[in-house]
Amino acid sequence: MMRPTVREIISTLLIALIIFLGVQVTVESRVVEGLSMEPSLHNDQRVLVIKASYWFGDPQRGDVIIFDHPEDPGRTIIKRVIALPGEEVEIKDGQVYITDINDDTFILDEPYINEEPNYTYGPRVVPEDEYFVLGDNRNHSTDSHSWGMLPGDNVIGEAWLLYWPLSEWHLISGWCYSQDQ
């Protein structure tokens, strides 16, 4: 039996290192903390985050994202993108109203929320390179309605897969749509 050469060993280690670093740069695991995303996600569940999701594009309405908290450096949280740059957002009478860049106004149909919000917000226009994000558990979430818009530079990636506990694993869907669609 032939022994591997030093060159083969180095090549194998180099390939393994490249794969390891590639995975570290593009994917990571996060723990859901708190109740703000219920009923979609629960405290202590584990999600797989695709950090490469927004390398070539921007977050879209409905995406569930992980980001650095704008008021608490070092803390990461998870919320859903509700309004995009240039859009106007208003929350009243338990509904989220969006006026898009074409001046079309619609009410979001949000089957994923725990209960309708019992607060009002806006109307406010989302500045360029910022997002309006909310937790699915609207009345028990600290989010854009309380601390303001999320800077785009704070976004780490998109929550893609709930993988723990194994009995509840599923792809995390990003859906927000108007009642007119």
Task: Give the residue numbers marked as catalytic.
Answer: 36, 79
Contact 73, 87 (CB under 8 A): no
For residue 29, the cross-strand partners are 48
d(CA 147, CA 159): 22
d(CA 115, CA 112): 9
Q: What angle (nearest 5°) sits at the alpha carbon of residue 177, between those of residues 95 and 30?
A: 90
d(CA 108, CA 176): 6
d(CA 48, CA 29): 5
d(CA 181, CA 62): 15
